[in-house]
Amino acid sequence: MSLFEAAKFVRENAHAPYSNFHVGAALRSASGAVFSGCNVENAAYPEGTCAEAGAIAAMVAAGETQIMEILIMADADQPVTPCGGCRQKISEFADKDVVVIIASPTAEQFRTTIGEMLPGSFGLDHLSKVKS
Ligand code: THU
């Protein structure tokens, strides 16, 4: 299944009764498998989770840790890019040149990379001097 199709399918299951803003995310991992997730809101608003977080959790639960490509789909007046927290979450599992595809339910809108979306990101390398 393409990332576009997977994101479109999972977005139908978004639980977004508070924002009514439905998001789907789909990623391809190193094995070639596709994992997807939707946003899951909560009456206690800060407990809600983004679509990207769901897709990443599904990948990690399946025993994989490398994102090769990720697509985010929403429906708004302008292309919807990942929030700051999701950029950080993606960068944990993706090389800087990993392609991030932004799409609406009807078309791919543009492509960028996680390195372009989150330059100078904090990562594992910054923890290298931490002693246990
Ligand atoms: N949302 C995502 O799922 N991913 C993003 O990158 C941006 C925002 C969700 C969170 C919330 O449920 C809704 O969109 C409105 O912010």
pTM of the model: 0.96
For 82, left (φ over 0), alpha (ψ -120 to 50), or beta? beta
Can you list the domains of the chain with their CATH numbers?
3-127 (3.40.140.10)
- CA 128 – ligand 1 centroid, Å: 32
69 is catalytic: no
**Which residue of the set 12, 41, 47, 52 is catalytic?**
52
Kindly report, residue by residue over 7-47, the tens digit of the pLDDT.
999 999 999 999 999 999 999 999 999 999 999 999 999 99
* Residue 132 reports pLDDT greater than 80: no
Q: In this structure, which residue's CA is closest to atom 2 in ligand 1?
A: 50
Could you give the 3-state DSSP secondary structure of residue 61? helix
